[in-house]
Amino acid sequence: MLLLVGLASILIAVVTVKQYKRQNKEYYDLRFERKEKAAQKNVNYELENTIYPAAQQFLGFIFRERIYEIATVHNMKMSIYDLNGQLQLNSYEPWFRIFSERISKNIILELKRKDEYKESMRLESGKVSQFAYSYIHDKNSNKVGILKVEYLQDNTQEEEQLSTFLNRLYLVYGAMLFLAVSFAYFLSSYITRSLHSISDKIQKTKLMKKNERIDAEGTTSEIASIVDAYNQMIDELEISAEKLAKGEREQAWREMAKQVAHEIKNPLTPMKLTVQNFERTFDPNEEGIREKVKDYAEMLTQQIDVMSSIATSFSDFARMPNKNVERIELIHVVKSAIDIFYQNEISFYCEKKEIYLFLDKNQITRVLNNLVKNSIQAVEMVEKPKIEVSLEEANDEVILTVKDNGKGISEVDKTYIFEPKFTTKSSGMGLGLPMVKNIVEAYGGKIDFNSVVGLGTEFIIRLPKNDK
């Protein structure tokens, strides 16, 4: 709308200026034509009522006195030439002065072809000089000379009027443009207010969270239809999210049950074989029976410990214990967690003397234990093992890094490193790193890693600073 108003204003201004100039030109051309005809009538009258013969050699004598009067009456300059274009006299020079002025051959040719010739020329002063050449005829219509009339057109006043008119026009259209801008702003704000609300709601729409509906009251019918469609989509999305969450929970428990059953079956099989063999070969009178019973008991106890470890691991992963959040001095906690490993290749670095965060001390210790234990296992075959634990404080976060020079993680394994049940070890259930990820994300943090096969792995934990 603003573009149309602006283009219309420019177009009207251009058309107005051109029309104004065209009308002025037509007016001055008509006025000059009237003056020219009146001058010609006066010249013909003098030629008919003179005492001299009406011939070109007597033109100087015929109009010697009258040319000044005629030019003054018509407010024009007048010049009279013979048929060859030689000046005989004019109204602005004394009659007795010798003139060398001649009419150009091109003008004479045009005169012979059309009986008249007109032109105009803009002067340096801004005024326009109009010229007209025509033949002088005697009463028998014979050509006896050439008459030139010149009128000096002063457009200063008209141009000032045009300038004043344009200034007023610019003022009016400027006011109109301002009103159009204001109207367009308020109109667009009214129209797009609901659209902005819809846009904000759509950007905040999440699959697994409660989404707010939009109130369509006070909006246009078109916007109301969009709002109704959005609200309907939200209702359907909530139903789909509930079904999806239920299905994911059921699938997760099925997978967990399969994994638990598989892990428990592993120690149960040797336990069953041991008991069956013991029942079949047991002889109370056999020599060394006590030692044999002791071996069986140790084997059963070992398998029971394995089952207990399996149950504990799954319990820790499936059920995060309640957080006991408190303000802890993180550097001391990290040092204490590292010291229990008694490994010379582990080093700790931190520029700060104290870093305080609101965390659960036991959970952050479990995170460090898992990462450091993985690093120790990764550097077992390295000639000069090195594990670096560092802690640094940024503007709004604390960064904990565990880096080793071990075997690294392959590109294929990087995709699954934080998934439950995934492990590259011959023992273990692949729940350590997923548990670490859950703990870190529970505090609004992020965990990432960089790894190159044969050079080592670096785990980076970013924990946001918080007040509680």
Domains of the chain (ranges; CATH) run 2-159 (3.30.450.20), 248-318 (1.10.287), 325-464 (3.30.565.10)
Angle between helices 221-281 and 289-318 (to 10 degrees): 180
Q: Which two tokens stand for residue 124?
A: 């340096």
φ and ψ at 18, to 5 degrees? -65, -40
pLDDT score of 429: 45
CA distance 213 to 233: 10
pLDDT value at residue 249: 64
Phi-psi region of 402 (alpha: psi -120 to 50; beta: other; left: phi over 0): beta
Query: Splitting the chain (468 residues) into consecutive groups of 10 residues, what average pLDDT does each group show?
Result: 77 83 82 86 84 82 83 87 86 66 85 85 76 86 88 75 80 82 80 71 67 66 74 78 72 66 63 71 74 74 68 59 78 85 83 88 85 88 89 89 90 79 49 81 90 91 81
The number of beta carbons lying within 10 Å of the beta carbon of residue 128 is 17
d(CA 344, CA 58): 135
- The candidate with the shortest Cα–Cα distance to 394, out of 339, 350, 360, 457, is 350
User: Which residues, 6+ apart, have CB-to-CB distance to 92 below 8 Å?
Assistant: 71, 77
Contact 417, 437 (CB under 8 A): no
Confidence at residue 391, expressed as pLDDT on a 0 to 100 scale: 92
Q: What angle do CA 167, 168, 172 make, to 5 degrees?
A: 120
Q: Whole-angstrom Cα distance, residue 124 to residue 132?
A: 20
Residues 6+ apart with CB under 8 A from 459: 371, 401, 402, 403, 447, 448, 449
Joined tokens for residue 446: 């992020």
Considering only CA atoms, which of 147, 144, 157 is closest in space to residue 118? 147
Cβ atoms of 359 and 445 closer than 8 Å: no
Within 10 A of 6 (CB to CB), how many other CB atoms are there?
15
Rounded to whole angstroms, how far apart are CA atoms 421 and 236? 34
